[in-house]
Structure 1
Amino acid sequence: MNLHQRIAVIEEILGHHFLNQRLISSAITHPSAVEGHPVSDSYERLEFLGDSIMGAIVATDLFERFPQMDEGELTRLKISLVSGPMLSEVAEDLGIGELVVFGGSERGTGARGMRSALENVYEAVVGALYLDAGYEKAHDFVRRTLGPHITPEIAERPISPKSRLQEVTQRDLHEAPEYKIVGQSGPDHQPTFNAVALVSGRRIGRGCGGSKKDAESAAAQDALVRLGYIEDATAPNPIAPMTLSHYFAQHQEED
């Protein structure tokens, strides 16, 4: 299937013909397929925008739909809805998996690489819709595809380290953690990424992984260990869970 055919299919799935077809082309293109090209040729920048737009849409809909829920319950439900597994599952159900354009270096990563790509493409598509057609069109797509999954029960599913850390930071400081890739090693076809988790600009965790998202997840896991929410099997004594303010007071000299 060539790029023109892929675009025609994704437009049919979305129910929107793009005036700027470069947007939707970029939204379904993995960075490995455009190595050496401008970053805007892949989904990375659109993914960043779409993540924020999607978050606002989901938060607004949950706020209006569940007036009896408190902040903690709404946060947990939102995190479950916009989690990687949920977005990749929805994108796969829509048939987007067959449309993603991969480069040769990524084709051998199998299911792991596809799951990560589907999550990113879903977010990028939301960003592309927002730029080409406005907020309402993006809202309609998110509501149509994520809406059927909105039930209080999904908040009871096992939560990822990044989602758990976000719960903690939202509760303690009313802000989300940030992640930064600080290094990369290994060959291009099998890289290892190093990431840090930051809150209020301060590092609270480090981690590494075979993808940027895996590295970020490892950094979140490390932060939860440091904060006492996950037991460190190597430590002689378990750490009692602490607030971020308490943690920062104990680690004033760290970056």
Structure 2
Amino acid sequence: MTRTEEQQRKVEEAQRIIGRDFDDPDILLSAITHPSATEGKPVKFSYERLEFLGDSILGAIVANEAFHEYPELDEGGLTRIKVALVSGTSLAEVAEKLGFADVIVFGSSERGTGRRGLHSALENVYEAVVAALFLDSGIAGAQAFVRRTLIPKMSVEMAREPENPKSALQEKLQEEGITPTYKLVETQGPPHDRTFVSQVFAGMKALASGMGRTKKEAESQAAKTALDALGFTKASKADKAKAKREKKQSRTEKKNKG
């Protein structure tokens, strides 16, 4: 595929950031190309399809790393670590520090709006790069990149409290042997300024829906709404913790009197 001067320069800079020369640079070019730069072209020329693949690969790599790093943690703790580490905020922060903001290929419409979706683009490009590495050099290439750039953020503290509503909802539903699933039900707006609507399900039952500027944000909002609807709010958790403390204090007082 013939590349423009800008595209060639950004592919070379992306390879420098990643620390690898791609056998197929066109895969990397797709991974760093915003949908606004491919209007009228097949979807394969932007990061959208690669983002889908990268999300799954990234989740597997992070799960594997957490599983081996923290053998003392149960499923709930490992889930909290994974959800926190692959959150949109986490990936966008890492991508920005790496310098990906300067290599994303935006279309003219996005440049004219001041890059409103930069945070979302950074998150998506990170996932797309993971997929591009997987396709170009196998799981080892993707794993090396994630280990170098994302895994250093991993810590056992992430396992102690749910970092977001998705983790909290998963913990609660798994107590009943249910794993929540999410489905994108609607996409609104032009490619450079999208709004996503997602639903969360418990089995075949739809629990709630949520809206956000990214797919992950929409899922997070859906999970939050579901938690509220099911009564798993922060307030109820606080009440339970207070009741537990009072019960413990009562037992201690009885023991001292005895």
Which TM-score bucket, shorter chain as reference? 0.7 to 0.9
Distance 2:84 2:106 in 1: 28
* Alignment partner of 1:220 out of 219, 223, 228: 223
Structure 2 counterpart SS, 1:177: strand
Contact 2:100-2:122 within 8 A present in 1 as well: yes
Instruction: Write the deviation string for residues 37-56 of structure 1: whole angstroms up to 9, x where unpaired.
Output: 21111111111111111111
Q: What percent identity do the matched residue pairs reach?
A: 50
Residue 63 of structure 1 aligns with an amino acid whose one-letter code is F
Partner residue in 2 for 1:26: 30
Distance 1:11 1:188 in 2: 26
What are structure 2's unaligned runs of at least 5 residues? Answer: 237-258
Instruction: Write the deviation string for residues 43-100 of structure 1: whole angstroms up to 9, x where unpaired.
Output: 1111111111111111111111111111111111111111111111111111111111
Q: C-alpha displacement at 1:112, in angstroms?
A: 5.9
Query: CA distance change for structure 1 residues 110 and 167 in 2, over 3 Å: closer, same or farther?
Result: farther
What are structure 1's unaligned runs of at least 5 residues? Answer: 233-237, 239-255
Instruction: Write the deviation string for residues 170-213 of structure 1: whole angstroms up to 9, x where unpaired.
Output: 554463522213353x6776554433223434321122344544
Structure 1 counterpart SS, 2:107: coil
Query: CA distance change for structure 1 residues 223 and 156 in 2, over 3 Å: closer, same or farther?
Result: same
Partner residue in 1 for 2:41: 37
Partner residue in 2 for 1:197: 200
Superposition pairs for residues 169-208 of structure 1, below 5 Å? Answer: 169-173=173-177, 175-182=179-186, 184=188, 192-208=195-211
Distance 1:63 1:145 in 2: 18
Structure 1 counterpart SS, 2:211: strand
Q: Does 1:114 align with 2:118?
A: yes
Q: C-alpha displacement at 1:109, in angstroms?
A: 5.9
Which range is displaced more, 219-228 or 103-112? 103-112
Query: CA distance change for structure 1 residues 170 and 49 in 2, over 3 Å: closer, same or farther?
Result: farther
Partner residue in 2 for 1:249: none
* TM-score, structure 1 normalization: 0.80
Distance 2:111 2:219 in 1: 22
Contact 1:166-1:177 within 8 A present in 2 as well: no
Q: C-alpha displacement at 1:11, in angstroms?
A: 0.6
* Alignment partner of 1:55 out of 59, 63, 74: 59
Q: CA RMSD in A?
A: 2.8
* Alignment partner of 1:104 out of 89, 103, 108: 108
